[in-house]
Every structure is written in structure tokens, then in C-alpha cells.
């Protein structure tokens, strides 16, 4: 990389803004250590299933198997913690869905009040799309 003596005088976003920004920069507690080929791992997570989805499926299988098994006390406690965690995750997802619906409703109400013609056009477009 070449030294640019005029870097101070550049506007924000005047350079290359199509850079990939890694998640650890935004969330220092997140560390991704790919066990295999990093390029393949990244594509799996971005195109097929996130780590959260994959872990969720494993939790579902483990909890289903554990439900009908005779487990030692220490494993029964772990299964209970997994069950509690899975329930909390579902509550969080439901709250997020509700927040999204509330935000969308508020945005539509505001659009209806501030721009009635745009509101009507938006509804007509989506009603037509729903019927197609």
C-alpha cells in the first residue's frame, strides 16, 4: 500500500467502500475459527445454513433423543439446561418477530398519515402481488 499524504483531506467513503468487513470488528466476542477450508466454511454459513441454524438442528435432535432416554443425573441436568436455552432462544425470536411487525405497522401508519397517495399505491401494489 502506498503512502497518501492527502489522506486527511479525503471525504468519508471516498475510497474503496466495497471492502469485506469482518464480524470480529463489530463484535469482539465473536471469533470464527474454521476447522476446514475457510472459503468453503464461509460459503456454507453465508449460502446454506448459519451456525445458529446448524446448532439449532443439533439441539432439536439431541433433545428429542434425550426425552426418551434414561440419563445419568449429570446428563439430565445438561439436557435441562439445553431445553431452557432452546426455550429462551425461541422467546427471543418471537420477541424479534413482534418488534419487526410493530416497526412495520408504525411505518405504514406514518406513511398513511404523511403520504396518503404513496400509502395507497404501496397497498395496491402488494395486493396485486399477493393475488398473482
Dihedral of the alpha carbons of 90, 46, 32, 53, in degrees to the nearest 10: 20
Give pLDDT tens digits for 70-90.
888 888 888 899 999 999 999
pLDDT of residue 88: 92
pLDDT of residue 119: 92
Which position has the grid cell 435432535?
61
Kindly list the domain boundaries of the chain, sorted by start residue. Answer: 16-131
pLDDT under 70 in the chain at which residues? 1-35, 132
Give residue 107's pLDDT: 92
Cα dist from 61 to 20, 36, 65, 69, 115, whole Å:
35, 24, 6, 13, 50
Amino acid at each position: 500500500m502506498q503512502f497518501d499524504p492527502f489522506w486527511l483531506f479525503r471525504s468519508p467513503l471516498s475510497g474503496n467502500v466495497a471492502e469485506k468487513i469482518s464480524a470480529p470488528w463489530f463484535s469482539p466476542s465473536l471469533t470464527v475459527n474454521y476447522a476446514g477450508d475457510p472459503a468453503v466454511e464461509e460459503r456454507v454459513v453465508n449460502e446454506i445454513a448459519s451456525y445458529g441454524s446448524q446448532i439449532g438442528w443439533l439441539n432439536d435432535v439431541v433433545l428429542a433423543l434425550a426425552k426418551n432416554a434414561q440419563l445419568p443425573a449429570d446428563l439430565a441436568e445438561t439436557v435441562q439446561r439445553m431445553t431452557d436455552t432452546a426455550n429462551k432462544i425461541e422467546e427471543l425470536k418471537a420477541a424479534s418477530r413482534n418488534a419487526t411487525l410493530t416497526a412495520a405497522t408504525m411505518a405504514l401508519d406514518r406513511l398513511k398519515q404523511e403520504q396518503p397517495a404513496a400509502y395507497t399505491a404501496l397497498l395496491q401494489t402488494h395486493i396485486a402481488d399477493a393475488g398473482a
